[in-house]
Structure 1
């Protein structure tokens, strides 16, 4: 029979272990056992935090690319060349450039 044990680690991460048989597993260092619902809630919070961080990084990148593109265009670089040099992609960075 398989039993799944859920853990919260000291760093805030969560994990699970599948255990076969009836033997009690050795405890994980720096982790405490939690319920499945606690595990799911923590994993959802972590996923949300990762998505928020990713979105923030993409916003900063978008601003930098658009600023670079504007500077290149202001310097008189042809648009196609400026877009390539700035790494501009209208699908990623928007059409407003």
Structure 2
């Protein structure tokens, strides 16, 4: 029988996996839309990147939720985190 802690742990793993997949999808989407890098956006370090002011009502992001910026990744900045590693499906910690 599953305990509440087991269910909570499973939910946390699912939530973490989902966050990694969303981050990876957003990075891929930004890499496939390089013109978005031209729009002004803040990096996690507090630098302003881009050259074009987004228009009124602009909702297309230039960075991921985690703050990843394709321009910094191309420039070789060491401050950027690497892309998330693939999930280890079904891997369990030894008990």
TM-score (ref. length: structure 2): 0.39
Choose between structure 1 and 2: higher strand proportion. 1
**Structure number with higher relative contact order (C-alpha < 8 Å, ≥ 6 residues apart):** 2
Choose between structure 1 and 2: higher helix proportion. 1
